[in-house]
Amino acid sequence: MKRIAVLISNKSGGSNLQAMLDGQAEAFDGQVVCVASDKEDAYGLVRAREADVPTITLDHADYAAKGKPRQMYEEALAHKLQKHYPDLVVLAGWTYELSETFLRFFPWRVLSIHPGLLPDPGYHKFKLPDGEFADPCFGLAGGNAMQAVLASGQKWAGSSIFAYTPDGAVGPVLGRGMVSVEDGDTPEKLAARVKPEEHKALRKALAEICAIAATARYG
């Protein structure tokens, strides 16, 4: 069984975390062993505590206020996670950009969720079911990504699950959840329809990773 650490922020409601907590018994062979946030008021911490999952709070602003470098913060965060022996780290709404300093502790074991349809490495865009190509929405998040989709006139919107590479770039895309854009859609309506598909894509990606690990261990 894969041990999973989840990183969240106070800007997200923690729905992806909840999807993992709800699905870990049946959807994938894994267990959320800790949840970390950069802010104490992150609602995901409430979700974690209700599920009896250990929580961690470490605010990078405190380090910056004391003149400590970001490398020191990332090392401290990694050490706190390591105490729970995670096999995977999932960035589920985490908004603080992590560098090689953090990623070297978990090489090729960090997954992230992007609010757009990212292309595979080496490609500029992702080909949609209707043959058109998606704007990947790099650098955008949440409602801004949905607004960009609507402004561009695209017919599909969605999210991508991808592997964070050691240099912090977008690595292999492990899954995508998408919906078609409907007449009268607003960023809020579109985001609300994308979220359930995002949850499905995340659980499916975790199921595939856990299955590969089990095969490698016992096959």
Catalytic residue among 79, 84, 114, 124: 114
The pair phi, psi for residue 146, each rounded to 5°, is: -65, -35
Q: How far is residue 194's CA from residue 213's CA, in Å, rounded to a whole number? A: 29
Three-class HEC string of 91-148:
ECCCCCCCCHHHHCCCCCCEEEEECCCCCCCCCCCEECCCCCEECCCCCCCHHHHHHH
Q: How far is residue 83's CA from residue 61's CA, in Å, rounded to a whole number? A: 23
Q: Tell me the three state secondary structure of residue 36.
A: strand
Number of helices (H), then strands (E), in the chain: 7, 9
Strands 133-134 and 126-127: antiparallel
> Which among 99, 136, 129, 98 is positioned nearest to 114, based on CA atoms?
136
Q: Is 124 a catalytic site residue?
A: no
Contact 109, 117 (CB under 8 A): no
Please give the positions annotated as active site: 114
